[in-house]
Amino acid sequence: MRVWVPLDAAARALGADEVAEALSREFTVTRNGTRGMVWLEPLVEVERDGVRYGYGPVMPEDAASVAGAIRTGSEHPLALGPVEELPWMKAQTRLTFARVGVIDPLSVDEYEAHGGLAGLRRAISVGPEKIVDEVTESGLRGRGGAGFPTGIKWKTVAGAKAVRKYIVCNADEGDSGSFADRMLMEGDPLVLIEGMTIAGIAVGAVQGYVYIRSEYPDAIRLMQAAIVRARQAGILGQSVLGSGHAYDMEVRVGAGAYVCGEETSLLNSLEGKRGIVRAKPPIPALEGFLGRPTVVNNVISLASVPWILTHGAAEYARLGVGRSKGTIPVQLAGNVRYGGLFEVAFGMSLRQIIEEIGGGTASGRPVKAAQVGGPLGSYIPHWNFDLPFGYEELASKEGLLGHAGITVFDDTADMLKLARFAMEFCAVESCGKCTPCRIGSIRGVETIDRIAQGDETGIAILTDLCNTMKWGSLCALGGFAPFPVMSALTHFPEDFSGRREPRREAAE
């Protein structure tokens, strides 16, 4: 009998290590990634006759009684039944995350038994041009937030002439509310390696780097271990799976700078410089890492490629809405009852996601707003929740899909404070290269403080300042910080006026 206890950081944060230790005294425990149902973590699974039965959330103090139930097959209040049959699992279309939570993340054999490496094998057999065509036809767009078509980027790098090209994976997932990259790297690191290897073959790059933020020590450790396993299995090296294509990769660790999630800043950081944003052009596809042609893609973009190569572009493009093709790992975070990761085709409404999938707020109070797309994403008020989840669909309401993280707030949220936080965050994290971001964010904090003191003349100044930052900043940090600020101000003006009156307390 095999028992599974997740090693995912979220499960560990809720006591999974203690649970695993207790259960390992009696059973063979395998550490898997998380299924994404974070409210059920630590989620213990037991495999019987090929079906996996769940128990959760299993706190360390429950471990003994759960062990008893596993041993005797008796009832237990935390028993959930077959995990695959849970509504949260059944309602998903798990393509990129198909193996996350299912396999031992570092087992190449299990990876392959669950469909791994089929995409790479097909990529090798069809060759570079056809790989690029396939990725282009799939409609895959940058999952890091910018939404740029992945295939077009690859075509540019493939066509560039250079002695050396690179694949750089942006795993600097700094957006609050986002944890898809972390969950994937911890739960199925081999799929990212496979995706990057396919990219390497497609564009003629022999070296890859995964730039992981230092706040993710577990993901760093697992990616490094997976790379070693992949080399041993012949997936990486001088001849990828015996194809004659050379490709290898390594992990690089960030150093606590949010702006390094911006691709040119990331490249500078990787080169060992200050993480200052570069002006574009030149684009990284032509002059990227060390001035050479470089594919810079987000974790989820690259990890989606093996599925696309295995099943074909048409199967992927069949899913989604408008120009948002395929699936998106929606991350439900913050004040939400059922928080976690839910991979689904684009097009569900925010209301369905937050209220039906997420079950409303954790506090039980009404939802006030949700910040979609990270700290630079808009606060979408609850009355606009009928928006379909897609790049253009959200943009039509001044929203941002970003990295598909949704942070839910209940009615005690003070939107002025959140707007101030967005400006303060921008001021702290600004790389300093352009004035609108570096100075504008500081003036923004000061102006919001004036408004908080009751000086409502500040509102017009703040609006004007946001406009300057939006159009005058070099990158998305200063350019998008106005989105949370202006959305808070536009939709919740009552939080910005009458500030001399006593505020309603959160503990009401």
Q: Which residues bind other proteins (CB under 8 A)?
A: 9-10, 12-14, 38-39, 41, 173-179, 181-183, 207, 214-217, 252-258, 269-276, 289-290, 331-336, 339-341, 362, 371, 375, 405, 407-410, 413, 418, 421, 425, 429, 431, 506-507
When the beta carbons of 28 and 214 are compared against other proteins, the nearer one is: 214
When the beta carbons of 252 and 499 are compared against other proteins, the nearer one is: 252
CA distances from 409 to 46, 342, 367 (A): 35, 19, 6
Answer yes or no: are the C-beta atoms of 341 and 97 closer than 8 Å.
yes
When the beta carbons of 37 and 451 are compared against other proteins, the nearer one is: 37
For 31-84, list the strands marked E by DSSP: 44-48, 51-55, 79-82
Least distance to other proteins from the beta carbon of 167, Å?
Answer: 13
Least distance to other proteins from the beta carbon of 169, Å?
Answer: 15
Least distance to other proteins from the beta carbon of 173, Å?
Answer: 7
When the beta carbons of 254 and 284 are compared against other proteins, the nearer one is: 254
When the beta carbons of 256 and 454 are compared against other proteins, the nearer one is: 256
Q: Which one, of 100, 150, 179, 158, lies nearest residue 403 by Cα?
A: 179
What does the radius of gyration of the chain's CA atoms come to, in whole angstroms? 23
For 262-403, list the strands marked E by DSSP: 294-298, 320-321, 324-325, 327-334, 340-345, 367-372, 379-381
Least distance to other proteins from the beta carbon of 14, Å?
Answer: 5
Residue 355 has what DSSP assignment? I
Exposure class string for 201-235: b at 16+ Cβ within 10 A, else e:
bbbbbbbbbbbbbeebeebbbbbeebbebbeebeb
Cβ-based neighbour number of residue 194 at 10 Å: 29
When the beta carbons of 133 and 215 are compared against other proteins, the nearer one is: 215
Least distance to other proteins from the beta carbon of 133, Å?
Answer: 30
Least distance to other proteins from the beta carbon of 271, Å?
Answer: 4
Least distance to other proteins from the beta carbon of 117, Å?
Answer: 27
Q: Is the dihedral of CA 379, 381, 385, 386 positive or negative?
A: negative
Tokens coding 392: 């253009």
Tokens coding 218: 């577990």
Q: Cα 152–153–156 angle (5° rounding)?
A: 85
Least distance to other proteins from the beta carbon of 36, Å?
Answer: 9
Residue 384 has what DSSP assignment? G
Q: Which one, of 287, 253, 283, lies nearest residue 166 by Cα?
A: 287
When the beta carbons of 182 and 325 are compared against other proteins, the nearer one is: 182
When the beta carbons of 150 and 407 are compared against other proteins, the nearer one is: 407
Tell me the HSE value of 300 on the side-chain side, using a 13 A CA sphere: 32
Least distance to other proteins from the beta carbon of 112, Å?
Answer: 28
How far is Cα 14 from Cα 9, in angstroms, rounded to an integer? 9
When the beta carbons of 151 and 177 are compared against other proteins, the nearer one is: 177
Q: Cα 270–307–400 angle (5° rounding)?
A: 60
When the beta carbons of 148 and 338 are compared against other proteins, the nearer one is: 338
CA distances from 35 to 5, 97, 138 (A): 11, 9, 26
Least distance to other proteins from the beta carbon of 405, Å?
Answer: 7
